[in-house]
Amino acid sequence: MIQLYQPLNFMGMVYREIKQAIIDIEKMFGVLSRNPEVKDIPGAEPLQISAGTVRFEDVQFSYDPERPILKGLSFEVPAGKTVAIVGPSGAGKSTISRLLFRLYDVSGGKITIDGQNIRDITQSSLRASIGMVPQDTVLFNDTIRYNIRYGRWDATDAEVEAAAAMAQIDGFIRMSPHGYETEVGERGLKLSGGEKQRVAIARTILKGPPILVLDEATSALDSHTEREIQDQLEKVARGRTSLVIAHRLSTIVGADEIIVLDQGRISERGTHSQLLAANGLYASMWNRQREAQEAREKLAMMADEN
Ligand code: ATP
């Protein structure tokens, strides 16, 4: 009986592992390929990156034909530079990152990388060239090591740990019950928003892509965590073509160009100082965020005094 039980038990375990892996993949692809209409064209070639210039040319897009979201958007992220997209909630900022990753196809206009229309190249080569640090990082129900290695499967343990150290999550991992072998996710260790984002940064460091898309989390992090994450992101972005979708203007003051999106159109563009001088939508968003920050700091000081 025991002889029979052991293999069955083992098979049960393997079955559960495989089932979990399938759920993980489904979860990931639920995020990555929401739209089955996005397909490689017959004979699609892989993307050839020379410099890494990203261009949006008169891009139009709607999720639902009745409601246009992007209404003719043109901008360039020159190779190695950082362009930030800001604007009111619902303006279409995250949609831009989804289109660049080709989770959806544009309804009009085109997106090119080094002159190649992203509709004409293989999705796998496109996604291999872009490092995405999304708003909400999907963590697999597996070890922390597995979750970081997701950035590049052939990375050695030492490379995984070096990436974690750069993303400043190494200390946290070493203090976890089983270090890098600690299970995370529903059944294991739960990570905070900031910790998850650091895992995403570590993955991106391992992947080392020529193009970066950083979709900043909407939820406010405490200012210390925010500063640390920001420093890491700046290190990762150095020398790479970077598109930053920003909710907190304080994080993109140094961007080469800031594009202000309003109701699917570019309403202003320029550097931080140019936009402040223009005294338009950006300047009013900046003043509002600064006042809110000052109020938060005052409250925190009052709480400390009590
Ligand atoms: P926020 O600052 O709040 O994150 P955003 O500028 O990033 O906003 P998007 O997420 O790009 O805005 O969304 C733009 C508009 O598209 C919103 O009105 C949103 O409701 C709508 N939208 C987003 N995703 C979908 C979807 N999958 N299906 C239908 N409509 C969507």
Look at 69-73, 82-86, 187-191 and tell me which has the smallest mean pLDDT.
187-191
Look at 178-187, 213-222, 264-273 and tell me which has the smallest mean pLDDT.
213-222
Sign of the four-CA dihedral 170, 297, 233, 266: positive
Confidence of residue 22 (pLDDT cuts 50, 70, 90): very low
pLDDT over 60 at 300, yes or no: yes
Query: What's the chain's average pLDDT?
Result: 86
pLDDT over 50 at 280, yes or no: yes
**Is there an atom of ligand 1 within 6 Å of 95 CB?**
yes
Look at 6-20, 74-88, 117-131, 285-299 and tell me which has the smallest mean pLDDT.
6-20
Mean pLDDT of 92-104: 93
What does the pLDDT read at residue 222?
66
**Is there an atom of ligand 1 within 6 Å of 90 CB?**
yes
Atom index in ligand 1 nearest the CA of residue 245 equals 7
Confidence of residue 10 (pLDDT cuts 50, 70, 90): low
Buried b / exposed e over 45-69, threshold 16 CB at 10 Å, is eebebeebbbbbbebebbeeeeebb
What does the pLDDT read at residue 224?
72
pLDDT over 60 at 187, yes or no: yes
Q: Could you tell me what percent of the chain has a pLDDT over 70?
A: 86
What does the pLDDT read at residue 218?
60
Mean pLDDT of 131-135: 84
Written as one letter, the residue type at 244 is V
Cα end-to-end distance, the chain, whole Å? 68
Mutate to test the pocket of ligand 1, among 94, 215, 260 (most ligand atoms within 8 A of CB): 94
Q: How many CB atoms sit inside 10 A of residue 2's CB?
A: 6
Q: Which has more confidence, 294 or 76?
A: 76
CA 165–ligand 1 middle distance (angstroms)? 34
**Is there an atom of ligand 1 within 6 Å of 93 CB?**
yes
pLDDT over 80 at 27, yes or no: no
What does the pLDDT read at residue 238?
86
**Is there an atom of ligand 1 within 6 Å of 287 CB?**
no
The predicted complex's ipTM stands at 0.97
CA 98–ligand 1 middle distance (angstroms)? 10
**Is there an atom of ligand 1 within 6 Å of 97 CB?**
no
What does the pLDDT read at residue 165?
92
Q: Which has more confidence, 278 or 1?
A: 278
What does the pLDDT read at residue 299?
85
User: pLDDT tens digits for 199-250?
Assistant: 988 999 999 999 999 887 665 566 677 777 777 778 888 889 999 998 888 8
**Is there an atom of ligand 1 within 6 Å of 70 CB?**
no
Three-state SS across 233-279?
Answer: HHHHHCCCEEEEECCCHHHHCCCCEEEEEECCEEEEEECHHHHHHHC
CA 92–ligand 1 middle distance (angstroms)? 6
